[in-house]
Structure 1
């Protein structure tokens, strides 16, 4: 039977339902917990997050994949509480958003050490929570090219993925040539890698999404909702129609529908920064799926993107 690690235990992939594949319960940079301006009590974070997850569940959402990563506010006991309270399956990750978010202890670590650490969090558990990670997060540091540390993290992630069977999800799909070369050297099939954020407003024109798909990688259109039409759009925003048209063009290519996943990259309760007002995970139900229907996509296609493809991707494959 296909299985997926959630914070409350492994479940059959068939029970995931509609999946938000790239989201955050609460994301912040290392040290944000010391910033008195944006610091929040646990009660305040709870009050911000629970209504969003309850709404997600009421809309029909089944699984929320938190890809916050080590050092960026990952709190697995908190995720367990949220999952039990809202009925939403939550998948936690191991790994890092990027090498530039790894604290010095990890930044000095060897590939073998990092691979062992990721493997432990997947097979034994994260800290003393008893919860096992269901996906490995990796990323490209600021600057647009992988640093030596990024490359070590990618290589360690590939080794852990091969040992454990869980997939890898990337933060940004730029510098994909280096990433794909590392995965090839380690013998990791690219269908176990989701190259994320191909649609963001900063890097979309630098991302070789079709080429990555041709190599066998999965493609994440996962910044839906970060629109220039927002009252105070972030620097990575993009016009709504432009992003939607990009997505529709991509899935129109022969065979590419089975390689694509979509999400909103929302931050339920931002840590150390104000976040983006007017944007939540529920953009998927309130705007994106209606837009896809208006564009002529049928229900089978929508199910492929939000149910079938995520279930196949998240399934543990040793």
Structure 2
């Protein structure tokens, strides 16, 4: 039986239950904590976050995968408190959302150094918190093409994944060819990589879904809920029906075993107001009903939300 690192300890993957696969407790760009317009007290963050996680648990959600990354507001001590308070398993990550979010200490580091950091956070823990990372985050910097720093981070992530057996989640699925090349060079099975945000309004048209599938990678439809129908939609929004129809097309092509779903929640945004009307509970309140209405049956939904995440998140070493 494979096991998974949560912030409160390592548990069997079979105990993860329904998983929100690509989410954030509180995400912000480096330096946002210095902007007094956006300062939040711990009490304010709790007030925003605890009710959302409690509702998630009431709906049947059991595991929240936080892919905030180093330098973007990751706070394992806070996650531990939230997990104990709400009963939701929280999986923290090591790695970076993208090279452009890595502060100079890390952006100047070698691949070997970065890999050692990632491995330490997975096998020993993050700082002195006792929380071990359960996934690795890597990403493409703004601009849509992998930078030299992005490539270093991807290579370090691949090495850490091979050593530890934890999976990788990417920020964006665009420009995947160099990522695939790096992962193959490092001996990482592409089944251990979830190429994220393949469904968002900006990137879906330029994401090579078939190529990722043919290479053996997993495809993340993880921005459900960022709909153009919102009162003030984000620039990465997409028409709700268009996203669902796109997802159903991939299911009908036989891609189900490589598909994973999430809502890219940001429970208490850092340094920006967030997107009103969108929470992790979109998963239960809208996404599942929409997928059922599109003809996706309960067995497939269970696979997408329970079986596939457990298989993906379980450490292979």
Length-normalised TM-score, structure 1: 0.99
Q: Secondary structure at the match of 2:311?
A: helix
Assess if the C-alpha contact under 8 Å between 1:68 and 1:97 holds in 2.
yes
Structure 1 segments, 4+ long, off by >3 Å, are: none
Query: In structure 2, the residue corresponding to 1:128 is in which secondary structure?
Result: coil
**CA distance in 2 between partners of 1:252 and 1:316 (Å):** 30
| Secondary structure in 1 matching 2:183 | helix
Partner of residue 21, structure 1: 21
CA distance in 2, matches of 1:95, 1:151: 13
- SS for the counterpart of 1:132 is coil
* C-alpha RMSD of the superposition: 0.5
Unaligned runs of 5+ in 1: none
* Other structure's SS at 1:131 match: coil
Q: Aligned residue for 1:281?
A: 280
Residue 299 of structure 2 corresponds to 300
Name the structure 1 match of 2:257.
258
Q: Does the CA-based 8 Å contact 2:245-2:294 persist in structure 1? A: no
What is the number of residues matched between the two proteins? 317
**Residue matched to 2:52:** 52
- Correspondence 1:55-134 to 2 at 5 A: 55-134=55-134
SS of 1:224's equivalent in the other structure is coil
Unaligned runs of 5+ in 2: none
Question: Could you tell me how far apart the structure 1 residues matched to 2:151 and 2:296 are?
Answer: 38
| CA contact 2:97–2:137 (8 Å) conserved in 1 | yes
- Contact preservation (8 Å) 1:210, 1:250: no
Asked if 1:38 is matched to 2:33, the reply is: no
Q: Say whether the 8 Å CA contact 1:22–1:67 is kept in structure 2.
A: yes
Alpha-carbon shift at residue 285 of structure 1 (Å): 0.0
Structure 1, residues 22-53: CA drift from partner, whole Å, max 9, x if none? 00000000011111111111100000000000
Deviation at 1:292? 1.1
The question of whether the paired residues in 1 share the 8 Å contact of 2:115 and 2:156 is answered with yes
CA–CA distance in structure 1, aligned partners of residues 286 and 201 of structure 2: 18
Q: Distance in 2 between matches of 1:63 and 1:184?
A: 30
> Residue 235 of structure 2 aligns with which residue?
235
SS of the residue corresponding to residue 38 of structure 2 reads: coil
CA–CA separation in structure 2 for the residues paired with 1:26 and 1:211: 32
Q: In the alignment, is the contact (CA less than 8 A) between 1:213 and 1:259 conserved in 2?
A: yes
SS in 2 for 1:37: helix
**Kept after mapping to 1: 8 A contact 2:123/2:132:** yes
1:177 correspondence with 2:177? yes
Q: Deviations over 1:266-301 (max 9, x none)?
A: 100000000000000000000000111111211110
Q: Report the equivalent of 2:289.
A: 290
Contact 1:21-1:65 at 8 Å conserved across structures: yes
